[in-house]
């Protein structure tokens, strides 16, 4: 009497199917790689593709957020480049969306935040491209002349820099704590029917961080960390410094 064939456990079937799918993704190979490397790289590639899909799922959910609250003021800032007064409503340009980053450089701080500075070094290069889709502004609490001097040191020549020294923007939109400490907040605003609404804040800044990590609330716009994540050493315990 013939015996029935045993079925493989579901977990093994899934692993086999995943490996088969990975093998079918492409046929590119690199000099002298062996089978062990290729098998591991194919598994990682599947994980990377799933991460890409998850990033898009989250971005799609973000785009579907309902309209947030109307801003309490049309805040007036000082333009760092020329000393002129400019209102929040004027920062959108030809767009209906404004991205505003709160840069940690308050009047009581001896130096600007090195982490903010490193991120803004990269954003300076991308600012012109961002301008094709949205308004972009970088806001700090220090006086304009102090921000101007630091921006000149860093070579920031494409960022629209603003001083919020004389308004409550930082306090209202979480760029500042109750004790006056500065927070690195990124906010997005939108114009609808003649009013300015808040749309989004990188609220992972306030959520618990995973063990061994910081909040990573603006990592998605920060090439430095994404590049280091490609390396065998990873990020480690290293942080950027001013200099």
Q: Which residue has the higher pLDDT, 44 or 212?
A: 44
Dihedral, CA of residue 206, residue 100, residue 89 and residue 166, to nearest 10: 80
Position of tokens 């070094």?
A: 121
Q: Is the pLDDT assigned to residue 55 strictly greater than 90? A: yes
The pLDDT value recorded for residue 186 is 98
31-42 pLDDT, tens digit each: 999 999 999 999
Q: Are 87 and 169 in contact (CB under 8 A)?
A: no
- Residue 81 main-chain phi, psi, to 5 deg: -70, -30
Residue 79: pLDDT band by 50, 70, 90 thresholds? very high
Q: What value does the mean pLDDT take over residues 76-83?
A: 97
pLDDT tens by residue, 3-32 = 455 566 666 666 666 656 556 689 999 999
**What is the reported pLDDT for 2?**
47
pLDDT at 1: 46
Number of domains in the chain: 1
User: Please, is 149 exposed, middle or buried when counting C-beta atoms within 10 Å of its C-beta (0-12, 13-18, 19+)?
Assistant: exposed
| CATH number, residue 89 | 3.40.30.10
Judge whether residue 93 has pLDDT over 80. Answer: yes
| 52 in a structural domain | no
The answer to the question of residue 211 being in a domain is no
Is residue 119 assigned to a domain? Answer: yes
In a domain, 20, yes or no: no
Residue 232 belongs to a domain: no
What pLDDT is attached to residue 243?
77
Domain span holding position 198: 76-204
Whether 45 maps to a domain, the answer reads no
Task: Tell me the pTM.
Answer: 0.89
Could you tell me if residue 58 is inside a domain? no
Q: What span, in angstroms and rounded, lies between the C-alpha atoms of 217 and 205?
A: 5
Residue 86 in domain: yes
CA distance 204 to 92: 25
What is the pLDDT averaged over residues 207-223? Answer: 93
Q: What is the residue-averaged pLDDT of the chain?
A: 93
């Amino acid at each position: 009497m013939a015996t029935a064939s045993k079925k493989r456990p579901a977990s093994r079937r899934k692993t086999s199917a995943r490996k088969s799918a990975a093998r079918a993704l492409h046929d590119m190979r690199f000099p002298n790689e062996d089978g062990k490397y290729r098998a591991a790289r194919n598994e990682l590639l599947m994980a990377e593709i799933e991460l890409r899909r998850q990033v898009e799922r989250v971005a799609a959910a973000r785009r579907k957020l309902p309209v947030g609250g109307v801003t309490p003021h049309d805040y007036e800032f000082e333009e760092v480049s020329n000393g002129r007064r400019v209102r929040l409503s004027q920062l959108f340009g030809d767009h209906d969306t404004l991205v505003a980053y709160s840069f940690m450089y308050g009047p009581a701080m001896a130096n600007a935040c090195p982490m903010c500075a490193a991120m803004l070094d990269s954003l300076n290069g991308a600012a012109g491209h961002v301008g094709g889709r949205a308004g972009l502004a970088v806001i700090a609490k220090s006086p304009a002349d102090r921000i101007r001097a630091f921006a000149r040191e860093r070579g920031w020549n494409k960022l629209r820099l603003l001083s919020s020294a004389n308004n409550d923007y930082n306090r209202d939109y979480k760029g500042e704590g109750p004790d006056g400490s500065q927070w690195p907040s990124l906010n997005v605003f939108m114009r609808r029917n003649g009013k300015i609404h808040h749309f989004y804040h990188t609220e992972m800044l306030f959520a618990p961080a995973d063990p061994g990590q910081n909040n990573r609330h603006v990592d998605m716009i920060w090439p430095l960390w994404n590049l280091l994540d490609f390396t065998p050493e990873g990020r480690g315990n290293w942080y950027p410094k001013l200099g």
